A and B are shown apart, each in its own frame.
Chain A
Amino acid sequence: MTDVTNQTQMQEAQMGDYFALMKPRVMQLVVFTALVGLLVAPVGVNPFVGFVAVLCIAVGAGASGALNMWWDADIDAIMKRTVNRPIPSGAVQPGEALAIGLTLSVFAVVLLFLATNILAAGLLAFTIFFYAVVYSMWLKRSTPQNIVIGGAAGAFPPMIGWAVATGSISIESILMFALIFMWTPPHFWALALFVKSDYGDAGVPMLTETHGRTVTRNHILAYCLPLVAVALGLGFTSIGGPFYLLVAVVLNVWFLKGCFAIWKRTDVDSDADSHAVERRTFVVSIYYLFGHFGALLIEAILRAYGLTAWAGW
């Protein structure tokens, strides 16, 4: 009896385990980009409605993370990086994760609709569907382009934030979407080049393993070039400005330089310096995304105070 009780105590899920189902680290990016999408929009939003909207977007993203963990529990148990997740570790039962994922999805979408508008709620519903069904269930295990397609799910939050404020989709929100969408592949493939993964053991096709590292290097540069165009193009829309353009030029030169260096290298070069360039470019890619969205936010503040007039903007 004591043994049974002890075992129950060990496997009792705590709030932290349920919170971990929602992939809190991914949620940080979602919250930040959704908030920027909302704040740079030309239409003001009541602060409380804005807070609830960002909360709904974060909960929706967390719900799709829970659904992803429910579906991928079998492969999470195989890979070292994911073996300690709540389901493979035994802290949370798969059925619980499914129930939490579905409940929070409905909760987030309905509340976002009631608080804001049907377009924002519809986009959130589509994002959850895209990540949980299109990416997790369908494409993740069937194509090495899974990172590219999965990136779309992570790219929707600023578009939803913009829709919360304006009730519409515009060139600005499409370019914010495109910025994250085009950034995701080089970001993850740079990581894949220096982290020894066990995706192969789990049956998940990753570009580095299905097509080789040289092809991955080509792909990184190939995605980086249109990414630069998108990032700079955003500077000429209504949410861009001199400050954003200045930051974007610096960040794009920095990132493009890294991607070009990755493309030029061979695996022998990479092994010789313990993948120093790949590691550095991966770190730069994180600064790159946060830098662009941070610059958009600062640009909006400067515009609100009329401080961009000096540049004749």
Chain B
Amino acid sequence: MAIRVEHEIHTRRKGRNTGVFLLLVGMVGIVFGLTVVKVLGLTDVRQLERFDHVARPQLEPGAMEAAQQRADDAAAQGEASE
């Protein structure tokens, strides 16, 4: 049996339903607002990319330069041994 639109429970629980709706909207607003504040508070917004649950060495400060240095050192050693 389909629930009729004019069922008395709709009027009886109107206050509660409205309250729950407003609380949920408020909750969404709080989480959204906190996200905006936290992201804008980052000194470098690229830091956000580091929180993707996967290690990404290329995002670590100086990682690319260190890798390049190691490659140069290895190349230099190779030339010396020849």
Contacts and interface: CB of A to CB of B under 8 A. Distances in A.
Interface of A: 5, 8-9, 12-15, 18, 46, 48-49, 52, 55, 111, 114-115
A5 B15 contact: no
B56 interface: no
B52 to A, nearest CB: 18
A9 B12 CA distance: 7
B8 interface: yes
Contact of A52 (B8, B18, B33): B33
B12 to A, nearest CB: 6
A48 B37 contact: yes
Nearest to B14: A14
B37 A13 contact: no
A15 B34 contact: no
A15 B15 contact: yes
11 contacts: A8-B12, A12-B13, A14-B15, A15-B16, A15-B18, A18-B19, A48-B33, A48-B37, A49-B37, A52-B30, A115-B34
B34 A49 contact: yes
B33 A13 contact: no
Interface of B: 8, 12-13, 15-16, 18-19, 30, 33-34, 37, 41
Given A111-B30, A114-B34, A13 B8 contact: no
Contact of B37 (A18, A46, A55, A111): A46
Given A48-B37, A49-B37, A14 B16 contact: yes
Given A5-B8, A46-B41, A13 B16 contact: yes
Contacts of B8: 5
Contacts of B16: 13-15
Contacts of B34: 48-49, 52, 114-115
A52 B19 CA distance: 19
A105 B69 CA distance: 52
A49 B31 CA distance: 11
B31 to A, nearest CB: 9
Nearest to B22: A15
Contacts of A8: 12
B14 to A, nearest CB: 10
Contacts of A13: 16
B12 A12 contact: yes
B37 A15 contact: no
A215 B12 CA distance: 52
Contacts of A52: 30, 33-34
Contacts of B13: 12
Contacts of A46: 37, 41
A134 B19 CA distance: 32
